[in-house]
Amino acid sequence: MRDSKNIQLLKKTHGAPFAVKGIVDSGKLLNYYFNNESDVIQKNTGPKVLKIEKDHLLLRPILESMQEKLLSFEVRYAHFFDVTDPHIIHNDDEFEFPHSYKAFTIPLNIYGESDNIKLITFDQYYYGGPAKFFYGEKSIENVYYNTPITSYEDVQECSDAGIEQNIKDEYLGHLSDSWLQGLTVNKMLDWTIGDILCFDSLSLHCSSNFKSKKIDRKIGLSIFTVLTNDTVESII
């Protein structure tokens, strides 16, 4: 999907994950979701998703704020997600967009007895298209759009350093231990309602195991971006 020159270009745009507060009107976004539930799609992997047009007025404050903090970008896709199971390890990529850039996750609601959820990003990257990661498995079913990756030779920045057992126990109990082979935690962002959680879309990441915290469901918004052509030209 990407040659070495393209990968090197993307690496120049990578940066540390971070959160932005005070921008999002979570109530208005939730109202949009519930008012358009008839258009929700149920994936075979569990999540419910609702597309929102990438130039929708509700997204404008988010995008204007993030444009001030990042390289120039365009939105390639945006959707709400409504889940009762935590996301497993994946990247956020599309075959049609070689210059994938940042992803924004906006927490909108949490249903349960606590609010202890993390978005966990890893130091590792995958540049070969949309994928989910299952090191050591022989066969995988129900992966929707993503390619199942069961061997990590094409995952970049793998390490033998490992992940501390207490982090695995508290936050990663929904994952098979083998899937974490070669991975190291970069950052665990708090899943705070109304925050904008920003990270490199091609970095491996997942949700924490919120079901172990007596949380039954969460709703959020994902926005996926690409570099503008002018930005690409300025980096080359």
Residue 132 amino acid letter? K
Q: Give the per-residue pLDDT at 180.
A: 98
Q: Give residue 142's pLDDT band: very low, low, confident or very high (50, 70, 90).
A: low
CATH of domain 4-235: 2.60.120.620
Task: For residue range 166-191, list pLDDT tens digits in order.
Answer: 999 999 999 999 999 999 999 999 99
Task: For residue range 61-113, list pLDDT tens digits in order.
Answer: 999 999 999 999 999 999 999 999 999 999 999 999 999 999 999 999 999 99
Question: Which residue shows structure tokens 């609010």?
Answer: 115
H helices of the chain, in order, are 4-11, 26-35, 60-67, 165-171, 229-235
When pLDDT is averaged across residues 195-215 and rounded to a whole number, the result is 98
